[in-house]
Amino acid sequence: MPNYSKKSLKGNVMTVCGPINPKDLGRVICHEHLLIDFRVVLNEPPNKKDIHYMKEKINLSNIGWIRTYWNSNEDNLLLEDINDSIEEMADFRLNGGHSLVEVTPLGPTRLENQHKKLKLISEKTGINIIMGTGFYVDNSLPDYFNAKSVEELASIIIEDILKGNNGVHSGIIGEVGCSFPLTENEKKSLKSAILAQKETGSAILIHPGRHESSPSEIIDFIQSEDGELSRTIIGHIERTLYDYNNLELLAKTGVYLNFDQLGIESSYYPLNPKKYMPSDHQKLEFIKAISDAGFNNKILLGHDIYSKNRLKKYGGHGYSHAFESLLDRMETIGMSKEKINDIITINPQKILTFE
Ligand SMILES: [Zn+2]
């Protein structure tokens, strides 16, 4: 079992099958979940008459409802069949995908032996999988979290990266879960992530709170802890920032911007019903605007798939959606092939390479 050091990892990308040359990443999608137990967000539907949907198995007669109320059906929130993942990754490959960042955090959202299963999926499909580590939002932390100090939590993350688990190593810290405002536990988790970043040279990928002020709160915190903004990815841009000026302010801090809600075309957003999920077209317009403003080198893409309804097997758009449909649409609205190619190859190379 190889053990790595910060020095030996420098210049490499760590996949579940071991370190690779960043140039071998090919086309990369930067925020996904292949295997996840996302029942931590299960909630009753807003309308009591719909309660019967909660326990139904996903099928053609309820998929239309589930697409809107995706967190009110238990079966929908569980991605545990590795054969489904293998089929989806074969399709990803057919559509020109080569690498994928899997950021299911430590704790209750992970399946048993998740790391071994991800390695198997990678071996069976040839897709490079960069696995995350670190801790999610306050309500979905591992049992041991409270009893451990920041330093102890950091060593768990560091071990995941340098030492690995049965020969499978994490290659990124994330998704690190944040609410707005940050809770004490989330500050502890962020601190441990920043410490681990210093010890490993890894990037950090952040799940911000659902509030326009959340990214700036997180950035202030990272700066106060002496973290590196240029090695930080702020995810879920689409459901966090609705005002272009705020997006530009965020870009100016030097973080990477992950447009990772691609493919969701239901405007009702159950986790924040007072706001909405923009359409793919609106997301692409934001991407183009921030690219035109000089920040093309900070843009990353993802679908953040965490439910069955978004898999192709269940009538969803699948992990290939960006490659299958959106890159052409980016060109149609006026982005150059070169810029688009940078977004899916060069930018991921830069951020995923250990420093
Ligand atoms: Zn996610």
Residues 6+ apart with CB under 8 A from 246: 212, 215
Per-residue pLDDT at 298: 98
Per-residue pLDDT at 2: 74
**Ligand 1 center from residue 206 Cα (angstroms):** 9
Per-residue pLDDT at 39: 97
Residues 6+ apart with CB under 8 A from 79: 33, 34, 35, 36, 37, 38, 85, 305, 306, 307, 308, 311
pLDDT digits (tens, 9 = 90+) for 61-118: 999 999 999 999 999 999 999 999 999 999 999 999 999 999 999 999 999 999 999 9
**Ligand 1 center from residue 232 Cα (angstroms):** 15
pLDDT digits (tens, 9 = 90+) for 270-285: 999 999 999 999 999 9
**Ligand 1 center from residue 48 Cα (angstroms):** 28
**Ligand 1 center from residue 164 Cα (angstroms):** 22
Per-residue pLDDT at 1: 61
Instruction: Give the Cα separation of 196 and 204 in Å (integer).
Output: 9
- Which residues, listed in sequence order, are joined to residue 276 by a DSSP beta bridge? 268
All domains in the chain, ordered by first residue: 25-352 (3.20.20.140)
**Ligand 1 center from residue 175 Cα (angstroms):** 6
**Ligand 1 center from residue 38 Cα (angstroms):** 10
Task: Give residues whose Cβ lies within 5 Å of ion ligand 1.
Answer: 304
- Given a cut of 70, the residues of the chain with pLDDT beneath it are 1
Residue 80 φ then ψ, to 5°? -130, -5
By the 8 A CB rule, do 297 and 342 touch?
yes
Residue with tokens 């090919």: 26
**Ligand 1 center from residue 33 Cα (angstroms):** 6
**Ligand 1 center from residue 344 Cα (angstroms):** 18
